[in-house]
Structure 1
Amino acid sequence: MTAPVLPASRAKRASTDAAATAWALAARSGDRHAAEHFVRALHHDVLCYVAHLSGDPQTAHDLTQDTFARAFGSLHRFEGRASARTWLLSIARRAVADSFRHAAARPRLADTPDWQAAVERVQPSGLPGFEDGVALLDLLEALPDERREAFVLTQVVGLTYEEAAGFTGCPVGTVRSRVSRARAALERQLLEAEAPAALTA
């Protein structure tokens, strides 16, 4: 009889979560080596999450740095009850919310160009996948906030539905429903976008 085996990606993520949590706990007592490993293990996930949640890749790196700064500032309170990934993403969520509040309170001195147009102007648009990436950001931005968050947490960051539910504070069924509706909306938008091209072909 063989033991059940997790899919490779899930097993790898579980291993990364366990290691990142151990590194966070070690970093809490001042281990700089562990702190570096903790940042490296979860930096990409935080960056992806804040980029999609904020809808602004231009500020994603600043928000990611802010997230880790906050995390290290409160690391002494981290006890490992939840995974370091879940704990860190909750901090990232607050960092994004605070940035929205700060931006709303700050008076606008001048009109600024649309960030997507600015990105398109400075990036080499001939790179494979560039236009697809911009299109995906456009599609995700059209989703309601709670559906976009559920989709990004499970489909981009890679949390399970149970982890996403714990993270967002809503039932697992609600997360599944939001992801399902987000996926259906994205598919519908893709079909609508492709329809004119098919007619002119």
Structure 2
Amino acid sequence: MHLEGAPTQAAIAALRPSVYRFLLKAVGNRAEAEDLTQDTLAHALKALPGFRGECRLSTWLFGIGLNLARNHSRLARHRLEVNDPAMAELPGGDDPAAQLLRSREQRMLRRAIDDLPDEFREAILLVSIEELSYEEAAAALKVPVGTIRSRLSRARALLREALTSQGYGNMTAMTPAQRSAS
């Protein structure tokens, strides 16, 4: 059991930026991510008395948000807003050519992640982007840890294939966390 102490409304509110960032990456649209974030926090506050502390509060919130995003995506599948500044993760540099290359690589990676089947995309987002442990991702997705491992393996293979077909066989477009996890 992993108990952080009795979670409060303030603890949930403090995790809002992380939930928003995760949902923005999951649905790819600022307005929808904002709506889903509000829904996630509202659901969490209603369900707070039932929180058993078996996982971190953030993992529990990601799970709620992911379920809401899944329900939302059944209505309409949206692509990532590639030029969204809120999605920028690569550090800037002084060299404009290097910045342009990183930006291009980042767009390619985002498109490749967006094109993954839902179960693989969710695993990549939770483990490689949000840096949850395999156990936390399994708890958020309500699947065994072995399922997370196999989904990540398949997702990475699909990403390698997609990036290789675009001329990025060395996977320079992946974040350091993704490269080390491969």
Task: Identify the TM-score tier after normalising by the shorter chain.
Answer: 0.5 to 0.7
Q: CA RMSD of the aligned region, Å?
A: 3.1
C-alpha contact (below 8 Å) 2:27/2:79 kept by paired residues: no
What does residue range 33-182 of structure 1 map to in structure 2 within 5 Å? 35-40=9-14, 42-101=15-74, 103=75, 120=83, 128=99, 130-182=103-155
- Kindly provide the amino acid, as one letter, of the partner of residue 151 in structure 1: I
Shift in CA distance, 178/62, structure 1 to aligned 2, threshold 3 Å: same
- How big is each residue's C-alpha offset from its partner over 1:135-155, in whole Å with a ceiling of 9 and x where there is no partner? 322111111111111111111
Rounded to whole Å, the distance in 1 between the matches of 2:150 and 2:13 is 32
C-alpha contact (below 8 Å) 1:48/1:156 kept by paired residues: no
C-alpha contact (below 8 Å) 2:7/2:57 kept by paired residues: no
- Kindly provide the amino acid, as one letter, of the partner of residue 45 in structure 1: S
Rounded to whole Å, the distance in 1 between the matches of 2:148 and 2:63 is 16
C-alpha contact (below 8 Å) 2:23/2:65 kept by paired residues: yes
- Kindly provide the amino acid, as one letter, of the partner of residue 39 in structure 1: A
Q: How many residues align?
A: 154
Give the unaligned 5+ runs of structure 2.
86-95, 169-182
- 1:5 matched residue in structure 2: none
Structure showing greater Rg: 1
Rounded to whole Å, the distance in 2 between the matches of 1:89 and 1:116 is 18
C-alpha contact (below 8 Å) 1:58/1:115 kept by paired residues: no
With normalisation by structure 1, the TM-score equals: 0.62
Shift of 1:130: 4.4
Q: Bigger shift: 145-154 or 57-66?
A: 57-66
Structure 1 position 187 matched with structure 2 position 160: yes
Shift of 1:37: 4.3
Rounded to whole Å, the distance in 1 between the matches of 2:11 and 2:159 is 35
Shift of 1:92: 0.4
C-alpha contact (below 8 Å) 2:22/2:125 kept by paired residues: yes
Rounded to whole Å, the distance in 1 between the matches of 2:109 and 2:30 is 13
C-alpha contact (below 8 Å) 1:146/1:178 kept by paired residues: yes
C-alpha contact (below 8 Å) 1:50/1:63 kept by paired residues: yes
Shift in CA distance, 96/82, structure 1 to aligned 2, threshold 3 Å: same
Deviant stretches of 4+, over 6 Å: none
Shift in CA distance, 180/76, structure 1 to aligned 2, threshold 3 Å: same
Shift of 1:88: 0.9
